[in-house]
Structures are given as C-alpha cells and as structure tokens.
Structure 1
Amino acid sequence: MPRRRPGAIRATQRVAVRQWARDGGPLDRLSPATAAAVRATEHGGRLGPRPRDLAGYDPDPFHEHVRPGHAASFLVQYRKFLRQPGARLRLEASLCPACPGCQYDDLAVARDALEAVTRLLPPPARAELRRLLTRLDRELRLRTLPDSTPKARWTGEPLPWWHRRIYRN
C-alpha cells in the first residue's frame, strides 16, 4: 500500500484547522489558527504536550473549566471588566461560588479557566493566547490593588496573583 507524503498529511490538517476557524468565527483578536486550536481544545481535543510552567500550578486538574464556547465568553468578561470607568477597580466575588455557572462571576475564576485552556493548547497557539493574556494581566495589575492577606488552596499552596487582589465584597 502506498504511503502518503508528509506534505499531503499536513495539508489535510490545515484544512481541518481552517474548517474549525471558519465555523466559529473570530475569537477576541486571535488569529484564525489559534481560534481553531482553542475551539478544538474546548471540544475535547488535546493538541499538544502539557507545559511545565507556573511551578506545577494547574487551575483545573479535572478540566471542568474547559467547555465549548467558554474561552470566548471569559475573554469578553475580562475585557468588559477592564473597560469599567475609574482608575482603581475591585474584583467582585461570586454570590454562589459552588454553582457551576455562577462561579464564573468572579473574574479570578474566569482567569483560572483561561489559564486552563492556555495550558492545553499546542505551543504556537499557547504563545499567542499567552501574549494576549499578558497584555490584559498588565492592565489588571495596574488597575487593581494587591490584597495583603495571603490566600491559599486547601493544600496550602498559594493561589496565583489574580486571586490576591482586593475584592469589593
């Protein structure tokens, strides 16, 4: 049986990525290939090795935050929060943090979900999404104040910096 050339295999993979990108539309100023990779990851496809960054921090060990369409809504929520008027912003805690839908009212939990999606992406898409998140994080650091009380998981390990900001409630 004849073997397929590597170029032919790559061409079919690019067509699949283009199909994902075409079906979903743009995703918050990301390239079509990265948007397609995010959508494929959300639909359960693991597209690359898991990175070893953030000192082993995995905000979503069971991948409960990675669901179809969530990354786009989390990016919209992040930008909407940063568009609020005023020099200093305060995060708002969710009224029902145990509820699967209401927990995302807290921007820190939505940022955890974006981190979980980022960690599952292949390297080129991960780098592009990481650049976008870095710009948004820089503005979040500038417009929110740090909280001096240490916050940690039940295991004792400290939470990421976006959980250690001052909350309104």
Structure 2
Amino acid sequence: MEADPKPPKGPRQGPRDGVRHGRNETEEERADRRWQDLIQEIRVAQTGVQILLGFLLTVVFTPHFQGLHQTDKTIYIVTIVLGSLATGALIGPVALHRIVAGRRIKPRAVIWASRLTLLGLVLLLATLTSSLLLVLRVATHDAYVPWLVAGVLTWYLLCWFALPLWIRFRHTNDE
C-alpha cells in the first residue's frame, strides 16, 4: 500500500479537502496587496470623519451655541477633540507611508498603518456617539436620549466589531 503523497509546499491546505488556500505571494507582494486594501478602507472612513469634523467646527460660530448649557458645551468640546484625534489617526497611515516609502519596510509599515486605522475607527465611533448625544440633548431633553444613544452605540459595536470578529473566529482555521 502506497503512502499518501506529500502535500505541495507553499500555501496551506485545508484540513480535510486537500484544496490549496491562500495566495502564492512574497512578503513584499502581500504587503503591497494589504496596503492597497487598507488605503481603500481608509478612504471611506477618512471622508466621513472629515465631513463630520468640518460641520462640528462650524457649530461654535452659530448664535444658538452661546445659549447651550455648560454640559452641552463640554460634550461639544469632547466631540471636537475626539473628531480631531480620529482624523489624525485615519490620515496617519498616509503620512507614515510617505515618510517610510522606499525604505524596504512596507510589511512593518502596513502593520502600523493598520493599527492606526483601527484606532481611528474606535475614535470615530466615540465621535459619532458623542455627536449623537449632543444633537439629541439639544433637540430634546427627554429622558430617553441616553437610551437611544446607547442603542445606536450598540448597533455600531455590532456592525463594526462584533460581526467581523464573529465571522473571523467562525471561518478562520486553527492552523
């Protein structure tokens, strides 16, 4: 009886199907592909956070702002700072790439850019949540505002983190 042939070297094989999974690419090719994916993702988030921050920056110059309670002004200041931090984190990968380009460290640059992007998304989550809290507090002083904001925050957490993590753990091999 013959022994089973050895699996081909290169991309990993599935646990039972013998089908090759993954890509046949060098570390540099993988870094290039991951960088392009990351830049496409950042474009979406960057645009949204920049538009939101732009609108928020104009609020202080409206006549209605001066009549806000101190609590609402504090929420506004926190929101502006969070939006500014989110903008910095989401634009950071572009500056990182520009500064390290040509230094043959793209795989490491992609890792750091990915971390900055994730941080930017967390800060964007906080910015959106505090913006919603501010707008709903000003629009209505009803007791359900914190509950509504908590519900929207829960929705963001489900869409942005829980679902992707569930899919990742459910469909990722233990290899």
TM-score, normalised by the number of residues in structure 1:
0.30
TM-score by length of 2: 0.29
The one of the two structures with greater contact order (alpha-carbon pairs below 8 A, sep at least 6) is 1
Report which of the two structures shows the higher radius of gyration computed on alpha carbons: 2
